[in-house]
Structure 1
Amino acid sequence: MTDFAILRAPSEVLFGAGMAAAAGRVAASHGHRVLVITDPVIASTPGFATVTDSLSALEVTIFSDAVVDVPRSAVDAAVALGESVKPDVIVAVGGGSVIDLAKVTALLLAHGGPLENYYAVQSVPGPVVPLIALPTTAGTGSEATPVSVITDPATEMKIGVASPHLIPRHAICDPLLTIGAPPIVTAHSGIDALSHAVEAYMAAREEPTVDLVLGRPQVGKNLLSDTLALTAAGHIARNLARAVEDGSDLEARTGMLYGSLLAGIAFGNSGVSAAHALQFAVGAATHTSHGLGTGLLLPYVMEFNRPARTAEIAELSALMGGDAIEQVHALGLQIGLPASLAEIGVDQGDLRPMAEASVGIKRLIDNNPRPLDVDALEAILDAAWHGDPERLRAVGLATA
């Protein structure tokens, strides 16, 4: 298969302790009117004050009612405020839900609604309001990706709006902004970042064509996504447990934020697969966090995909100091993830309906390196329900 590489990323990345103070000068390059989007918790932090202080010479309006999982009510409220102030630039300070809200706000202010018009991949017609993203978790990588994950009111499931136009214009990544994140947020967002890195590295690979690379925001496994994903996995594996155990460890926080950024760029170009597809159904049923779901499911998806990605598993294993699947499973337990789907209230009878709900998320299912049908997805969920990745080998699904 022909080698190829794709890189779509923010036009500017500023990384390092103290970089949050650059937000004002970066925003001023786009105009005078600024809409800041955040949530009530972040709005009360010293890091947020650093950002707003840097914006003091500009005309600033703050929307601080962002809500986890981006419900339509938050989108409508943010857009209504944006329509009243007509911002030249949007500044998002927060975790993935805040940045995702900012992305769809920038989209709707530029092109109008309804939001359902943009559910189809590549349906955003052009540039959105310029966006500066300052992540406060490590993380979703949303500061560098072409995807905004929102909750669809019709189905109450999460859905991704995907377009290269949604990639923030600027990513300002300051590890000092992540210091206040509590251990459970650090754990769930951090294992999600590892899921991004691993699924990007193990994604499906297609023969490159112009239609492929220009027709989709995420194009599968390629040379640049591989390099970024592998580096990201190493940083995250080395630093996640440290960051959870001691939230003031700036070295660990820096390593995690760097790993999350690289993983975001990696999967923003390659895409993710089965762990994320299954999490949509698991999260909707259990109302558990996105990171908890992807992190819990990740070793099971890796085990299922082992026959198709033996070289990649070997590379990850060398990086992690042991079999990668065992290491990822153990890391999840070390940082406090539930040991099984049963532990978060999933009944065994729910597994088949969850698999049926997930198989239709083709953007993710088709990006898995091994073909997935409802039976395969149910087997992955069953192993996760029992808390035993090796169960996939026992039922014969992890053999070539």
Structure 2
Amino acid sequence: MRTTNDLRLGLLRQPGHVAFGPGQRAQLPSLVRRLGTSVLICTDERMAGSEVFADIVKALRGNGLTVSVFSAVEPELPRDNLLGLIEEFGGTDLDVVIGIGGGSCLDFAKIGAILLTRGGDVRDLYGEFQVPGPGLPVITVPTTGGTGAEVTCISVIHDPDLGMKVGVASPYLEAHAAVVDPELTLTCPRGLTAATGADALSHLIESFTARAKNPGTDDIEQHLYVGKNVLTDVYARHGLALLNTSLERLAEDLSDLGARSDTMLGALSAGMAINTTGTAGAHAIQSPIGALTHTAHGFGVGALLPYVMRYNLPAREPEFAEVADVLGVADPGQSRASRARAGIERVDAILAALDVPPDLRELGLKPEQFDTVAEQALRARRLTANNPRELTKGSVLEILERGYHGDRGWWGE
């Protein structure tokens, strides 16, 4: 089934202030001073031990600000990690929360700011629009070019009791400001650079090909993800054009600041898009695969993307043909179907340049796990509902089968 944006709707949710560019971390003291005098920085142990972090703290304190640091943010954001934050800083007089780091650090700061203000258990906030009100103002400072978490209204948490990742999705999680400084990604190692780049690319493809839902006023008031629309498409096109060249340049030279900047702007564009469209099939299927194989999220969605794109192609041929135009591989003399396939193959090539695993076998997934993965993927309704072609247990199993064997034939042939 094909859905089109019949309303010509345009909708974005975004921070009130976004600073982008090399050196823009220098804006942090002035941004914090507008909000108060006491700031808590949430980050991980590696970032907290870096020279650039020490410089940021020094600049904040040099502007008369009181700075506290929580430096124990863990990858994949386990629920217990948030309990540690409340234990250490609950009841502390704070005005602002800064999240510095990768996606987990930013998600931690966003949901932590709510819990520090309103108390309670994060489990009560799982799902959409369950956050009852605003928390402390948050400033997000990403150090990787990929997740887009600096501008999104969601925090993804791993709940070990549920055995899966769950989302807290609410406009109240939107950052007050995002400071996006590509210089902070220069020390990002090759593997993490590739994984986050693949994640950003998957965000752009999934947002541009997402279901258009033609929401009414009540839908917009009750749901974060209201579908592909004319404004998210602007960001998706721009981000794809940037990543089309920047990711391969980074694969050749991690010190290329121009490529770092283009990648980070592409990732920011992707975050702006998915904040309204949501992600879709590749992300839904990756979550249980990641839990079983303990592989990086970006490599998981990157490994799945070629197969999910091929599954979705019958429902999104015009969009994939436009992807080919944006990526510079469309031959105007070809049919739309041929151009759409060329767009998908160009995405395949970018993923290959990043050394993303070409199949699910390389992630460590086993055939006897397919049934579990399919069942758990379909439980992620906030993601599967965005997929342009309906996902059933049978179709997910076929995606897994093709992905395991590296079968990149065209669906239905």
What TM-score bracket applies, with the shorter chain setting the length? over 0.9
Equivalent of 1:141 in 127, 148, 172: 148
Report SS of the residue matched to 2:166.
Answer: strand
- Cα pair 2:147 2:267 within 8 Å, conserved: yes
- Aligned pairs for 1:6-21 (under 5 A) are 6-21=11-26
User: For 1:336, which of 355, 375, 385 is the aligned residue?
Assistant: 355
Give 1:348's aligned residue: 367
Q: Secondary structure at the match of 2:369?
A: helix
Q: Report the Cα distance in structure 1 between the residues aligned to 2:170 and 2:323, rounded to whole angstroms.
A: 30
Deviation at 1:159, TM superposition (A): 1.1
CA distance in 1, matches of 2:33, 2:84: 25
Q: 1:296 matched to which residue of 2?
A: 303
Q: What percentage of residue pairs aligned between the two structures are identical? A: 39
Partners in 1 of 2:204 and 2:12 — Cα distance? Answer: 15
| Paired residues of 2:91 and 2:116 also in contact (CA < 8 A) | no
8 Å CA contact retained: 1:241, 1:335? yes
CA contact (8 A) 1:282 1:354 kept: yes
2:76 matched to 1:69? yes
Secondary structure at the counterpart of residue 392 of structure 1: coil
- SS of residue paired to 2:128: coil
Contact 1:278 1:358 in 2 (8 A): yes
Q: Which of 25, 30, 34 in structure 2 is aligned with 1:25?
A: 30
Q: TM-score, normalised by structure 2?
A: 0.93
Residue in 2 that maps onto 1:281: 288
Shift of 1:329: 1.6
* Cα distance in 2 for residues equivalent to 1:345 and 1:174: 35
Moved more, 53-62 or 78-87: 78-87
Q: Does 1:243 align with 2:262?
A: no
Question: For residues 135-183 of structure 1, what are the alpha-carbon distances to aligned partners after superposition, in whole Å with 9 as ceiling and x for unaligned?
Answer: 0001100000011011012123111110111011100000000100001
User: Could you state the TM-score of these two structures normalised by the residue count of structure 1?
Assistant: 0.96
Provide Cα deviations, 1:251-297, integer angstroms capped at 9, x if missing partner.
00000010001100110111110000001111011011111111111
SS state at 2:179 partner: strand
> How do 1:1-400 residues align onto structure 2 when only pairs under 5 Å count?
1-56=6-61, 57-322=64-329, 323-390=342-409, 392-394=411-413
Contact preservation (8 Å) 1:201, 1:229: yes
1:80 deviates by: 2.2
Contact 1:21–1:50 (Cα < 8 Å) also in 2: no
Figure out how many residues of one structure are paired with residues of the other and give that number. Answer: 394
Q: Would you say the 8 A contact 1:192–1:294 is kept in 2?
A: yes
Task: Work out the CA distance in 2 between the residues paired with 1:344 and 1:298.
Answer: 14
Q: Check conservation: 1:35, 1:63, Cα contact below 8 A.
A: yes
Q: Which position in structure 2 is the counterpart of 1:397?
A: none
Name the CA distance, whole Å, in 1 between partners of 2:411 and 2:288: 20
- Residue 44 of structure 1, CA deviation: 2.2
Q: Distance in 2 between matches of 1:301 and 1:377?
A: 9
Tell me, yes or no, if the aligned pair for 2:127 and 2:166 is still in contact at 8 Å.
Answer: no
Q: Distance in 2 between matches of 1:330 and 1:350?
A: 28
List alignment gaps of at least 5 residues for structure 2.
1-5, 330-341
Task: Output one character per residue of 1:292-319: Cα deviation in whole Å (capped at 9) or x when no partner.
Answer: 1111111211111111111110111122
What amino acid is aligned across from residue 21 of structure 1 in structure 2? A
Say which SS state the counterpart of residue 411 (structure 2) adopts. helix
Partner Cα distance (2:108, 2:310) in 1: 34
Q: Matches of 2:182 and 2:412 in 1, distance apart? A: 40
Deviates more, 1:35-44 or 1:321-330: 321-330
Distance apart, 1:208 and its partner CA: 2.7
Looking at structure 2, the residues matched to 185 and 309 of structure 1 have their Cα atoms a distance apart, in angstroms, of: 30
Which residue is 2:334 aligned to?
A: none
Stretch deviating more after TM superposition (171-180 or 330-339): 330-339
- In 2, the alpha carbon distance for the partners of 1:80 and 1:233 equals 42
Asked whether the 8 Å contact 2:127–2:167 carries over to 1, the reply is no
Q: Specify the code of the residue in structure 1 equivalent to 2:60.
A: L
Q: Distance in 1 between matches of 2:246 and 2:91?
A: 43
Letter in 1 for 2:388: P
Deviates more, 1:328-337 or 1:90-99: 328-337
Q: 1:236 corresponds to which letter in structure 2?
A: L
Amino acid at match of 1:49: A
Structure 1: which amino acid aligns with 2:369?
D
Q: Secondary structure at the match of 1:336?
A: coil
Q: 1:391, CA displacement in angstroms?
A: 5.8
Partner letter of residue 202 of structure 2?
A: S
SS in 2 for 1:171: strand
CA gap 1:391/1:342 in 2 versus in 1, 3 angstroms: farther
Superposed CA deviations along residues 225-274 of structure 1, whole A, max 9, x for unmatched, are 11111111111121012123311100000000100011001101111100
- RMSD, aligned α-carbons: 1.2
> Which deviates further from its counterpart, 286-295 or 237-246?
237-246
TM superposition shift of 1:49: 2.6
CA contact (8 A) 2:111 2:155 kept: yes
Letter in 2 for 1:48: F
Q: CA deviation at 1:84?
A: 4.4
Query: 1:50-70 CA deviation, whole Å, 9 max, x = no partner?
Result: 321221121100111111000
State the distance in 1 between where 2:251 and 2:87 align. 38
SS for the counterpart of 2:19 is strand
Partner of 1:158: helix, strand, or coil?
Answer: strand
Alignment-mate amino acid for residue 52 of structure 1: V
Q: Contact between 1:47 and 1:176, CA under 8 Å: does it hold in 2?
A: no
